[in-house]
Structures are given as structure tokens and as C-alpha cells.
Amino acid sequence: MAEKRDYYEVLGVAKSASDKDLKNAFRSLARKYHPDRSTEDDAENMFKEIQEAYAVLSDSQKRAQYDRFGHQGAGGNPFGGSGAGGFNINLEDLFGGDIFSSMFGGGRQRSNKRRGNDILVRHTIDMEMVLNGSSEEIELDLPCPCQSCEGTGAEDGDTTQCSPCGGQGRMRVRQQMGPFVQDVVKECRDCAGVGEIAKSRCQDCRGSGRDTQTETIRFDVPLGVENGTRMRMRGKGEPAPRGKGSPGDLFVELEVQEHPWFERQNSDLIMSLPVGFTDLMLGNTIKLPHIDGDDLVVKIPSNSSAGHTITIRKRGLPSSRGGGRGEVVVLLKLHVPKKLDKATKKALEQLRKVLSPKDIEARIRKDAEDRRTN
């Protein structure tokens, strides 16, 4: 790194400058060099330098230390471990809301401090887990910053200003959009929007700044969770491009496996149950194993019809909003055997006389005649 300039020199003020002088100097310089508006060469670095100088000199304690010991006194990085760019100046305070918004336009997006991409993984759970909840543990190969270069992709972390974008991280490109030609600002490809590139590539990650590591992710499946619910694990996503900025988030999308006989409707479970004609006629009680471990007792009343439903309360799934379990709704379906042996056939022939609706053909015929004569 080049010799650090004196902070007073950077802001162009005397050593005796008052707080107000400092503020005024910083304001006009920040306006001049703000990378989003400045046409100056090297505005980005100038802006950083100005920010750094102001951050130190506007803090009376840090200023006193700097006055006594110079850059050494202020420490290599006076702003904590967050590296370059970790300045804690509230620009909004300094400029007022209006100037802030016009000056910073796109807000955070335009800053060279980037955020890594989010990662989405799917995780399948079964209906029992929706019912009982579950503590899950999954192993994932997740991207992480390369240790050798701290994610910068540069040998020894040594970077230099990106020349295609002049360190801006963004480039103005002329784009044909239908009949119009438009200037759009795009992220610089060479530096992935960071504004800096490696002097030479890190050997270990071949310049990508990335590595992968196997991580165990633990989370609880909430009771009554809906299919497609996403659980967010902050900071477990992709690392920021070139190690500058914060990592993205990891989302685990819960996919509830389809159940062989239950269909879910919110907290209710719907199932269709094939029953025989005699079950409908005479009624029956059928016990079925249920996902809660206790048998589900389905009481079919006599004289039921196919298509009737039987509701069993509080045996469905817990509601994700709390408030107890839903219902199991059993839809009765008539099961018609495909093949009958001779004896059964004979028995059914006997029953036909009894069970078939009486005179139905004659009644319909009469109805039709009545209509014709009216």
C-alpha cells in the first residue's frame, strides 16, 4: 500500500480546524468524490480516503490520538476489524435526508460493499413431522471464503484497482432496447462489482475466492408447517464477492412429502375410504392406523351412501397458527369387486330383487307420458 496521506491534508484543513470546519470540508469533498456522481478519476478511492479521515478527525478521542501518534496511533485500521469500508459515519445525518437520497440514488445497491447470494436448498419432511414437529440435522456442502486469501481471490490478499471500471465496480453501458438506445449502469464483470482485482490470483482457489465446506445445519420443523415454507439461516449463504461485504442467507425450503392416503387441506386431513355395499347398508366400524400412533376409528352409520363423509375431530394436523388440531374427513367410496365367484353371484341374484329400487322403469315411463299429454 502507498504511504498514507495525512488526514488533515486529505480534508484540506488546518490542524487547528474546528469540528464545523471539518464537517464543511468533508461535505464538499464527499459531494465532489462520491463515486455515484463523481466524474473525477479515482473517485472511489478518494471517497474512501475522505471518509476515513473524517471518521477519525470527527471523533475527539481518535483525533487526539492521531494528533499525538499519527496513523500508528490511530491504529492500522481505527474502525474495528471490518476492513476497508467499515466506516461508521452516518451520512444521512451529515447531509440531511434530501441530499442523501438524491446523492445516493439506489441506496445500498450502489455501494461497493456487496452481499453474497442467497442459497436455496430443499428438504423433504413427512406428515408425521408436520404433526409432531422435528429437530432436523442436515449436512450441506456450502460455499465459504477461501482461507488463504480471505475470499479476495488475490494472492496474499493483495488487490489493485480494477481498470475496466476504474474502481467503481460499475460501468455505464449503451444498450439497444427495441428502438431506443439507453445508457444503463451494469456491474463490472472483471471485479464482480467490487472495484478491485487481484494482483495475482490465489493459488488455492484459482482466484475465485471460494471454497466449500461441509456444514451441519440444524433447525426445528415447526408444528403444522405448510408445504413450501422457507427457513432462513442468516449468513449461511454464499460469501460476498471477493470477500468484500456480508454473506447471503441460506434458505431451507420444507417440502412435505405426499401421504399415500391422506390429502392435506390446511390442518385437515382428507381421505377416501373404499367400503363395501353392505358396510354402507348395515353400517360398520373400521379401525385404521393413524399418523399420530393411535387407531382412527371410522364409524359408518347404517344406510350411508357412497359420497358421504365422516368427520373425526381433533385428529388432523396442528394448525400452524396454533389452536389445536384439525379434522380427519373420511369420504366413503363404494368398492365394487371386479370379479365374483359363482356362489356370491348367486347370492347377489337373490338380493337383487330386494335391493333394486322398485318399479323405477315404470315410474320414469309414466313421467314421460304425463309430460307429453300436458
Site residues, Zn ion (CB under 5 A): 146, 148-149, 162, 165, 188, 190-191, 202, 204-205
Nearer CB in complex with Zn ion: 165/329 = 165
Nearer CB in complex with Zn ion: 165/332 = 165
Nearer CB in complex with Zn ion: 168/304 = 168
Composition of the chain by helix, strand, coil, percent to 5:
30, 30, 40
The CB-of-4 to Zn ion minimum distance in angstroms stands at 24
What type of residue is 23? Answer: K
CA dihedral sign, ordered 191, 194, 195, 199: negative
Residue 262 φ then ψ, to 5°: -100, 140
The CB-of-7 to Zn ion minimum distance in angstroms stands at 28
The CB-of-202 to Zn ion minimum distance in angstroms stands at 3
HSE-CB of 372 using CA atoms within 13 angstroms: 6
Minimal CA–CA distance to 332: which of 290, 304, 313, 303? 304
Give the C-alpha distances (Å, rounded to integers) separating 284 from 290, 295, 297, 304, 330: 18, 15, 10, 10, 14
The CB-of-89 to Zn ion minimum distance in angstroms stands at 25
Residue 7 φ then ψ, to 5°: -60, -40
The CB-of-37 to Zn ion minimum distance in angstroms stands at 18
Nearer CB in complex with Zn ion: 131/202 = 202
Nearer CB in complex with Zn ion: 148/304 = 148
Nearer CB in complex with Zn ion: 199/287 = 199
Q: Are 185 and 169 in contact (CB under 8 A)?
A: no
The grid coordinates of residue 311 equal: 368427520
Nearer CB in complex with Zn ion: 21/190 = 190
CA dihedral sign, ordered 7, 13, 15, 18: negative
The CB-of-114 to Zn ion minimum distance in angstroms stands at 12
Give the C-alpha distances (Å, rounded to integers) separating 297 from 40, 173, 239, 312, 330: 80, 70, 53, 8, 11
The grid coordinates of residue 50 equal: 475522505
The CB-of-36 to Zn ion minimum distance in angstroms stands at 15
Nearer CB in complex with Zn ion: 199/345 = 199
Distance between CA atoms of 145 and 242, rounded to whole angstroms?
Answer: 8
Nearer CB in complex with Zn ion: 11/197 = 197
The CB-of-182 to Zn ion minimum distance in angstroms stands at 21
**Which residues lie closer than 8 Å to 218 by C-beta, 6 or more apart?**
135, 136, 137
Instruction: Please report the beta strands in 205-343, taking only residues with DSSP state E, as ranges in sequence order.
Output: 210-221, 230-233, 245-246, 250-256, 263-265, 268-275, 284-288, 296-300, 309-312, 328-334
The CB-of-101 to Zn ion minimum distance in angstroms stands at 26
